[in-house]
Amino acid sequence: MAKVCQITGRKRMVGYNVAHSKLRTKREFGLNLKTKKFWSEAEQRYITLKVSTKGMRTIEKKGIDAALKEAQEKGFVGLV
């Protein structure tokens, strides 16, 4: 599976390392992704998601069921 947050849809970003001589080389800024299990009260089961730390904060704020519903509407996660 790709390195994409299933809640926020965030992906890796591409940028440059810039040397003192202003020489630029490509690099990637990776995500802080974690595989984490969340308890869904509506489904009475654990749901395993690959989420960024920002996604975890979103789940804490809105709740797992509301965050999953919103992510499904935006197409970030399939039917779980």
pTM: 0.80
Answer yes or no: is 42 within a domain: yes
Domain count, the chain: 1
The whole-angstrom separation of Cα 69 and Cα 52 is 17
CA-wise closest residue to 10 among 26, 33, 38: 33
Q: Are 33 and 11 in contact (CB under 8 A)?
A: no
Q: Is the pLDDT of residue 80 over 80?
A: no
- What percent of the chain is modeled with pLDDT above 90? 89
Q: What's the CATH number where 51 sits?
A: 2.30.170.40
Answer yes or no: is 35 within a domain: yes
Residue 50 lies in domain: 13-74
Answer yes or no: is 34 within a domain: yes
Average pLDDT over residues 62-77: 92
Answer yes or no: is 2 within a domain: no
The tens digit of pLDDT for each residue in 37-67 reads: 999 999 999 999 999 999 999 999 999 999 9
* Exposed / middle / buried, residue 40 (Cβ in 10 Å: 0-12, 13-18, 19+): middle
Answer yes or no: is 1 within a domain: no
Q: Is the pLDDT of residue 22 over 60?
A: yes
Kindly provide the residue ranges of all beta strands, DSSP E only, lying in 1-58, ordered along the sequence.
Answer: 13-18, 24-29, 33-40, 45-52
Mean pLDDT of the chain, nearest integer: 93
